[in-house]
Chain A
């Protein structure tokens, strides 16, 4: 990856970096990849913000609790299933 301009906080060619950030946040466990992403993020404010926000997004998603299945939904499901089973058994 090319050197980025630190003073402006912008990349001339962020495309490659963004792909790598996607791989990194996507869970690809590769030390070289991690090193490259983190080094680049230190020199590019835009990519650093992207990395930070994507990591937070994934974290928030992982904290999402399992939806509670309402009793009525469960009851309707079982009525449907048992009716179907009963029909096929006849």
Chain B
């Protein structure tokens, strides 16, 4: 008689939900916080990089964002999703650093600088234009530069909505704005970008 043995196949472990990890951190489990960092470090770096425009400032903002999240995680009340809360911290940290940086910039801008003919980026020569890859690189650099030059209110909305792919509702939660305000800032931000990137569009 053939004996049928039922093979126990281990189902792949489902990832622990964010909220559960947060509860564990609140109960004193620091490994759970490390898991949250692993889960979101790249996404948060993207936001800080897009907002700050360079690696060093983005790195500082990234560290500050996670430090604040760790220090204040006991205050997290599950009224929003963890990632919304974390993105809000990352955005606020970045914008705060930007304000400080722009103050420093204001001093240097007081010095006489000849801005005449200084275009925000080079307009590609169609006749002798570079290869497609080169154009993509140019566009990417021009896009980041143009985003860097956006006013703060528009920049955060454009970064979260258009570059990070959040929905209008998610952006409104991260930035604590109404959806209507998000849409309005997004449109105005896009119009500014369009002006700057006109030769690519």
Contacts and interface: CB of A to CB of B under 8 A. Distances in A.
Nearest to A58: B162
Interface in A42-66: 50, 52-54, 56-58, 60-62, 64, 66
B41 A77 contact: yes
B93 interface: no
Contact of A84 (B70, B140, B186, B193): B70
The residue among A22, A88, A89 with the most chain B CB atoms within 10 A of its own CB is A22
A51 B162 CA distance: 16
Nearest to A76: B59
B163 A61 contact: yes
A61 B187 contact: no
B55 to A, nearest CB: 6
Interface string A4-45: 000000000000000000110111000000000000000000
Interface size of B as a range? 35 or more
Nearest to B60: A76
B62 A81 contact: no
Interface residues of A, number: 32
Nearest to B71: A84
B186 to A, nearest CB: 6
A57 B194 contact: yes
B63 A80 contact: yes
Contacts of B71: 84
B123 to A, nearest CB: 15
Contact of B67 (A57, A78, A84, A89): A84
B50 interface: yes
7 contacts: A26-B186, A56-B201, A66-B46, A77-B62, A84-B71, A85-B34, A85-B70
